[in-house]
């Protein structure tokens, strides 16, 4: 398969993606590859349609999400993220620590939902900023800019994880009312 | 995922949880993070004039294996010289806690935290 996910969806290769065009194209591609259309086809054709459908799904979930999209774009540029790189900007880790502490303390706060919302707002603000920075780096596109992207991406991963935990805590709280 | 008895033991009774004054000249602070799982680990050491680690504290936000790994290294570091502490390897941590392959990165995080804390201490000393 020489075509990349962007080409598959007929979209320009880049961080900024037209969400509407992506969703429309996804629907069309999915319809065309639907296994039901191959009910009377040969075994081989059916198998290919199943593979094609799974590729379309994989491509769609990658292009739809800013984190997955950024990671994929870097891979297209020959930059793979290392998950074992544990050194990070100490200030950022300090902030992570503080947000985690606030998250832990939230259920015991006078207004636990407000305490959780505060953590969420802080995490979402950082998330937005990181996505903007990534967009600017990919916009520049030269090697020097792309070298700076993995660090932003790692931070974004932390923020996503934190936001997942905020969701979880909110669920627990709502459940216990 | 099934945790080993040792992981559960450290997870339920973590040793040396807490914080030290990060601005104190005899305290070294190591902050590390694992982006893949969002774990954050802070390891702090208090070093005597003879270069022996007198006390160690940690605070870790992460899975049971990450907490157990940091709890274990605080125990191991106490009484060691800085050079001895630097010899602690993630493989020893993983072996002691019987970590499964998917959790090896938690022990890597703990080893990196040791290095970061010692480096921070040495940097402070060279500036003093």
Residue contact B31–A162, C-beta within 8 A? no
pLDDT digits (tens, 9 = 90+) for A112-133: 999 999 999 999 999 999 999 9
Work out the widest C-alpha separation in chain B, in whole angstroms. 47
Question: Closest Cα of chain A to B97: distance in Å?
Answer: 19
Nearest CB among B38, B59, B112 relative to A162 is that of B38
User: 3-state class of B44 per DSSP?
Assistant: strand
Up-side HSE of residue B117: CA atoms within 13 Å toward CB? 35
Count, residues in chain A: 177
| pTM: predicted TM-score of the whole model, two decimal places | 0.83
Joined together, the tokens standing for residue B11 give: 């997870």
pLDDT of residue A67: 94
Higher pLDDT among residues A177 and A28, named by residue = A28
pLDDT < 70 positions in chain B: 1
Average predicted confidence (pLDDT) for chain A: 91
State whether residue B103 sits within 8 Å of chain A by CB.
no
Global ipTM: 0.78
Higher pLDDT among residues A55 and A42, named by residue = A55
Contact partners, residue A85, CB within 8 Å, separation at least 6: A154, B35
What percentage of chain A carries pLDDT values higher than 70?
Answer: 97
pLDDT of residue B1: 58
State whether residue A67 sits within 8 Å of chain B by CB.
no
pLDDT digits (tens, 9 = 90+) for A19-37: 999 999 999 999 988 877 8
pLDDT of residue A2: 61
- Please name the residue that has the structure tokens 């940091």: B70
Q: How far apart are CA B54 and CA B2, in angstroms?
A: 34
Contact partners, residue B36, CB within 8 Å, separation at least 6: A83, A157, B105
Best probe of the A interface among B38, B59, B62, by most A CBs < 10 A, is B38
Q: How far apart are CA A133 and CA A70, in angstroms?
A: 11
Burial label for B38, CB within 10 Å (0-12, 13-18, 19+), is buried
Q: Span A86-108, mean pLDDT?
A: 88
Nearest CB among B42, B113, B116 relative to A97 is that of B42
Nearest CB among A84, A100, A154 relative to B40 is that of A100
pLDDT of residue B41: 94
Joined together, the tokens standing for residue A151 give: 């660090």
Q: How far apart are CA A116 and CA A111, in angstroms?
A: 9
State whether residue A44 sits within 8 Å of chain B by CB.
no
- Give me the phi and psi of A2, to 5 degrees please: -90, -20
């Amino acid at each position: 398969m020489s075509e990349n996910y962007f080409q598959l969806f007929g979209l320009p290769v880049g961080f900024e993606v037209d969400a509407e065009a992506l969703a429309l194209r996804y629907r069309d591609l999915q319809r065309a590859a639907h296994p039901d259309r191959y009910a009377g086809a040969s075994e081989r054709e059916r198998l290919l349609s199943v593979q094609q459908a799974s590729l379309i799904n994989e491509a769609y979930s990658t292009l739809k999400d800013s984190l997955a999209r950024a990671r994929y774009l870097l891979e297209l540029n020959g930059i793979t993220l290392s998950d074992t790189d544990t050194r990070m900007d100490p200030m950022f880790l300090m902030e992570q620590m503080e947000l985690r502490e606030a998250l832990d303390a939230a259920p015991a706060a006078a207004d636990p939902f407000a305490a959780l919302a505060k953590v969420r707002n802080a995490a979402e603000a950082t998330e937005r900023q990181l996505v903007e920075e990534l967009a600017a780096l990919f916009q520049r596109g030269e090697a020097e800019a792309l070298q700076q992207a993995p660090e932003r991406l790692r931070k974004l991963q932390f923020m996503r994880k934190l936001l997942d935990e905020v969701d979880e805590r909110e669920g627990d709280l709502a459940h216990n009312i | 995922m099934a945790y080993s008895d040792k992981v559960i033991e450290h997870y339920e009774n973590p040793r040396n949880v807490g914080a030290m004054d990060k601005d104190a000249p005899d305290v070294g602070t190591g902050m590390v993070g694992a982006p893949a799982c969002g774990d954050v680990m802070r390891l702090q050491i208090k070093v005597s004039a003879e270069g022996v680690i007198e006390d160690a504290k940690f605070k870790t936000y992460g899975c049971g294996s990450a907490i157990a790994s940091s709890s274990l290294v605080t125990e191991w570091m106490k009484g060691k010289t800085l050079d001895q502490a630097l010899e602690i390897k993630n493989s020893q941590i993983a072996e002691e806690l019987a970590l499964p392959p998917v959790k090896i990165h938690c022990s890597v995080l703990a080893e990196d935290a040791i290095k970061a804390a010692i480096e921070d201490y040495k940097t402070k000393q060279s500036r003093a």
